[in-house]
Structure 1
Amino acid sequence: MGGLTGKRSENRSRIIQAAAQLLREHGPAAVTTRGVAEHAGVQPPAIYRLFGDKDSLLDEVAESVMAEFAASKAAKVEAAQADSVDPLEDLYAGWRSQIEFGLANPALFRLLSDPARVARSPAAQTGRRVLEARVHRVAVTGRLRVSEPRAVAMIQAAGTGVIQTLLATPAEQRDPELPDAVYQAVLAHILTDPSTAPPDGTLATAVAFRAITPELTVLSAAERQLLDDWLDRVVNAL
């Protein structure tokens, strides 16, 4: 039984790797049952037994590649925290890696741009949590002047838009400075200017305080929740 299970797992992995390579090099149209089977060195019926249909196989491929990418990003965040890397430098590094990944994997990016697919993708949710962790580190420093969820949503929306725009533009006509220009525009909206006076500073302080409430273990869970609610009201009102 163990041998059969191992063989099944091996075939599954080979099929996913073969489909991922075809997807990267030739796009979704190349991911046919016959093509993947030939590339993976298995018989076509094995794909139906393991995945059911082409759409399910594409889901598995997208999830596998994204899971690997998300795990890599999570490891980088942990390393940045351990090495005390500046939170803004870490946030920018994450932005650049996301843009580069999308441009290098256009077919996969288009698959993952489907909201329904993203909603059910554990890897996509892991990627979002990585971005949330990076934004949280900025919030703790007192530099964020919008709520953490708003900052995450703006960065994610801007990144998706930049990748879509560049992919829709012939390579020779792409503006190489667009990603940084958009990123700076987002930062101008979500970050405080150290030279400004309240209420900008008041809002940043509220956001920073909201970021550290989970660490206030001297308070009970109910008290922390109440404090979170109060601070959310302050942040949304300013």
Structure 2
Amino acid sequence: MSTRARILEVAARLVAESPDGDISTRAVCEAAQVGAPALYRHFGDKEGLLSAVVDHGFDAYLATKRDRGDTTDPVEDLRNGWDSHVEFALRNPNLYRLMNSPAMRTPPASAAESHRILTRDLERAAEQGRLRIAPGLAAQMIMSATTGVALMLVSRPGTFSDAGTSTRVRDAVHAAVFTPDVRVATPADTDVPSTAARLSALLRRSQGSGLSTAESALMTEWLDRVSNSAHEHG
């Protein structure tokens, strides 16, 4: 095992065992049997080490999403994605709190990848006409709600002790994001936002729209504004 890998493994174990999730570089060096210069050479500083710990721990969770084949139902994939996210937080409370700590000035790479995967699934839903709003705004709503629920469950288990809380919040947020049932006809005026969201998603994927790069960007901006207007005024 390389020196970097040993330091990372020790730091991850100490984070998991810590009462509050905090660790010192001195404790890591002692447990890994390395000098401080070696730690700083590989990770820069304590924040760099903790960011690497988060990415290391979250990588196994993200691997299941990277390797997951897309189903024909992106909405079901998104429901399952919410549940697996919360389950990961409950299994790894210190790591999850660390990942979302304000002390982490630079978001770990794993957080950005998780957001990209979420947005990709929402774009698939938009292409099927199943989003009320643009994928970007939907991703912000879902990610903030998922993270908020998970943090409350791991940080205040005495107050948030109902196992069904996550499911109820998930269903409430998804009801605001997804169309009720695309197989049921809806009045044209209420269907405009979801149609705009779908067209925007298809335009992003299309390579032959006939529009220039600037025109495509402008059209996407207009469509996203239309798709989000119902939410802003609702």
Tell me the TM-score normalised to structure 1 length.
0.82
- Compared CA separation, residues 126 and 27, structure 1 to 2 (3 A): farther
For residue 61 of structure 1, report the CA deviation from its aligned partner.
1.0
Deviates more, 1:27-36 or 1:208-217: 27-36
Question: % of aligned pairs identical?
Answer: 36
Q: 1:31 to 1:209 in 2, by over 3 A?
A: same
Deviations 1:127-178 (A, max 9, x none): 1101101111111111111121221111111111111221233369610101
The answer on whether the counterparts of 1:142 and 1:205 sit within 8 Å (CA) in structure 2 is yes
- Partner letter of residue 214 of structure 1? R
Instruction: Provide the residue aligned with 1:112 in structure 2.
Output: 99
CA root-mean-square deviation: 2.5
Deviation at 1:215, TM superposition (A): 3.2
1:13 correspondence with 2:13: no
- 1:221 corresponds to 2:213: yes
d(CA) in 1 for partners of 2:41, 2:217: 48
- Whether contact under 8 Å (2:86, 2:146) holds in the other structure is yes
Which residue number in structure 2 is paired with residue 138 of structure 1? 125
Structure 1 spans left out of the alignment, 5+ residues: 1-6
Among 168, 173, 180, the alignment partner of 1:186 is: 173
Quote the residue 1:43 is aligned against.
34
Preserved CA contact (<8 Å) 2:11 2:53: yes
Partner of 2:76: 89
Paired AA for residue 209 in structure 1: L
Describe the shift of the 1:120–1:184 C-alpha distance in structure 2 as closer, same or farther (beyond 3 A): closer
Q: What CA deviation, in whole Å up to 9, does each residue of 1:79-120 have, x standing for no partner?
A: 12xxx3411111011101110111111111111213563744
The whole-number CA distance in structure 1 between the counterparts of 2:13 and 2:89 is 15
Q: Separation in 2 of the partners of 1:28 and 1:132? A: 32
The number of residue pairs the alignment matches comes to 224
* SS of match in other structure, 1:199: helix
CA distance 1:85–1:110, change in 2 (3 Å): same
* Cα distance change of structure 1 residues 226 and 33 upon mapping to structure 2, 3 Å threshold: closer
Report how far residue 226 of structure 1 moved: 3.2
Q: Is the CA contact (8 Å cut-off) linking 2:90 and 2:154 kept in structure 1?
A: yes
Map 1:1-238 onto structure 2 (within 5 A): 10-27=2-19, 31-40=23-32, 42-45=33-36, 46-76=38-68, 79-80=69-70, 84-115=71-102, 117=104, 119-170=106-157, 174-194=161-181, 195=184, 196-218=186-208, 219=210, 220-238=212-230
Shift of 1:52: 4.8
Q: Do the aligned partners of residues 63 and 118 (structure 1) sit closer, same or farther apart at CA in structure 2, a change above 3 Å counting? A: farther
Is the deviation greater in 101-110 or in 182-191?
101-110
- Shift in alpha-carbon separation, 1:212–1:116, aligned structure 2, 3 A: farther
- Paired with 1:31 and 1:222, the residues of 2 have a C-alpha distance of 49
Mapped partners of 2:144, 2:97: distance in 1: 14
TM-score by length of 2: 0.83
Counterparts of 1:118 and 1:92, CA distance in 2: 30
Separation of aligned partners in 2, 1:170 and 1:234: 40
Deviations 1:46-84 (A, max 9, x none): 3344335434322221232234433432322xx12xxx3
Equivalent position SS for 1:174: coil
Kept in 1: contact 2:54–2:99 (CA 8 A): yes
Structure 1 residues 134 and 107, CA gap change in structure 2 (3 angstroms): same
